Amino acid sequence: LLARNYAPEQLKAVLQSSDVPTKQADHYEVETILSHRLDKEGGKTLYTVKWKGFAESENSEIPYENFDSKKTVDLYYDRIQKINPH
């Protein structure tokens, strides 16, 4: 057998499989939907959202299918229906 005396700079930490970070998609929480519009090129409705924990300068437009919870969109339409019941 070989000697097992190593200087600390010769050693390298090895991660256990449970310690290996997994790559996950970024996930952000919608604070509120501010408005919506029809994208004339794609034909989809885009929603301008305010992201929870982010400045208004970070607001962005996303399509319906990008919402994790469709309830957020339902609540938005309920809110605008109460404001403008026509």
pLDDT band at 79 (very low <50, low <70, confident <90, very high): very high
**17 domain-assigned:** no
Residue 61: which CATH number? Answer: 2.40.50.40
* Residue 21 confidence (pLDDT): 47
Residue 66 counted as domain residue:
yes
| Amino acid identity at 7 | A
SS3 at position 49? strand
Name the phi and psi angles at 65, rounded to 5.
Answer: -65, -10
Give the total number of structural domains in the chain.
Answer: 1
Residue 12 lies in a domain: no
pTM of the prediction? Answer: 0.66
> Would 75 be classed as within a structural domain?
yes
pLDDT tens across 12-61, in order?
655 554 444 445 567 889 999 999 999 999 899 999 999 999 999 999 99
Does residue 37 belong to any structural domain of this protein?
yes
On whether the CB atoms of residues 9 and 18 are closer than 8 A, the answer is no
What residue numbers bound the domain in which 43 lies? 28-83
Asked whether the predicted pLDDT for residue 11 surpasses 70, the reply is: no
Which of the two residues, 22 and 4, has the higher pLDDT score?
4
68 phi and psi angles, rounded to 5 deg: -70, -40
